[in-house]
Amino acid sequence: MVNSDFNKEKVINVLKNILHEDQIVNINNFSNEILIDVIPSNPTHKAKTDLSNKIIDFLKSEYNPDLNYKVEFKPIPKSVESEPTEHLSNVKNIIAISSAKGGVGKSTITANIAVTLSNMGFKVGILDADIYGPSMHIMFDLVGRKPLAVDIDGKSKMQPIESFGIKVLSIGFFTKMDQAVIWRGPMATKALNQLIFDADWGDLDFMLVDLPPGTGDIHLSIMQKISVNGAVVVSTPQIVALADARKGVSMYRQENINIPILGIVENMSYYIPDSKTQEKHYIFGKDGAKNMALDFDIPFLGEVPIIQGIREAGDIGRPGALQDDSNVREIFSEMTKKMVQLLLERNKNLPPTEILKIKTMAGCS
């Protein structure tokens, strides 16, 4: 028996607020029950349970609270699982920098690796994919700036803003400093796609993608839309941060993502309050990220201590790797060399001349 009050089109329009249109497979109505077939964006049991509850709660609040709703999940199609839908042919290497936990300094690491690569002579861009908490416009002294529109082959494109030789695009260019971005997942993903594909990035040797905390829609969209060559995971030594970092590692190793992890960076490793004694104080614990790297058999890229200059440099919009502090420059230089070396080892398709060029510029062995 079909409920005469049922309006399939209206249900679909309601669901579009929380799902991508291609995730909605089918909707059927029997008596007072609505059956919804959905393709999950994340195949884990917890993610599917959370999504099912979210769909049911949303339909009860936005459509009809008196009906029974049942969500069934369909397998992710192979085409979605394994093949990126679009490529950035003018970008040679795309590296995702992530931390499943917020506040561990991921954006600081991203900015300083970018500056170090640029100092080596590479053409570098940063995509600030943290839609809800962008910070690259602050770290590169670009607050208040807005990208210009340029005509490329008859199409209007955004021109990334350049600072210290780095091309940067961020949602922070389009919002005020105290303005919260209150968007549902599909809208955030749409904005991200515009930053990626509606931009004139030009020719880049490296694009660094500064991902938001967590393992959600933004991450999956990035992995499915562009060909990411490798990932760097950032964590502090603290146990609660490591617990989330492990989830980040697990995300990259899922069968439908399968992106090589180039290494783990331990940020805020220790603090030296007295320059005379050089005694290290392990405020957040010792060797936590290094031990996690051993547990997962992942390269350890290095430690970044708590240095006031690094924090101040980010706040004034001039990343620490640009400063006169040779210790800071050396830390990020060694870390970046390791990252590039590991990227080359995992990218067997590059011509020998290109491998030699990158090794020479980066100072790799």
Residues 235-273 have pLDDT tens digits of 999 998 998 888 888 888 887 788 899 999 999 999 988
- pTM confidence score: 0.75
Q: Give the CA distances from residue 333 to residues 86, 122, 225, 262, 267, in Å, rounded to whole numbers and listed in that order.
A: 32, 13, 30, 16, 15
Domains of the chain: 8-76 (3.30.70), 82-362 (3.40.50.300)
| Residue 181 DSSP code | -
- Using 50, 70 and 90 to split pLDDT, how confident is the model at 83? very low
Band of residue 277 on the pLDDT scale cut at 50, 70, 90 = confident
Indicate the pairing of strand 33-38 with strand 24-30. antiparallel
Question: Which segment of 122-126, 182-186, 201-205, 294-298 scores lowest on mean pLDDT?
Answer: 182-186
What is the per-residue pLDDT for 288? Answer: 93
> Edge to edge, what strands does the sheet with 24-30 contain?
24-30, 33-38, 68-73
Mean per-residue pLDDT, 14-22: 83
Nearest C-alpha neighbor of 361 from the set 161, 89, 124: 124
Q: Give me the pLDDT at residue 292, please.
A: 92
Residue 70 has phi, psi (to 5 degrees) of -130, 130
**Backbone torsions φ then ψ of 208, nearest 5 degrees:** -100, 130
The greatest distance separating any two alpha carbons of the chain, rounded to the nearest whole angstrom, comes to: 82
Instruction: Quote the pLDDT of residue 44.
Output: 72
Give which of 105, 100, 102 is closest to 307, Cα–Cα.
Answer: 105
d(CA 236, CA 245): 9
In the predicted structure, residue 192 carries a pLDDT above the cut 90: no
Q: Are 126 and 167 in contact (CB under 8 A)?
A: yes
Q: What is the dihedral of CA 134, 138, 140, 145, to 10 degrees?
A: 90
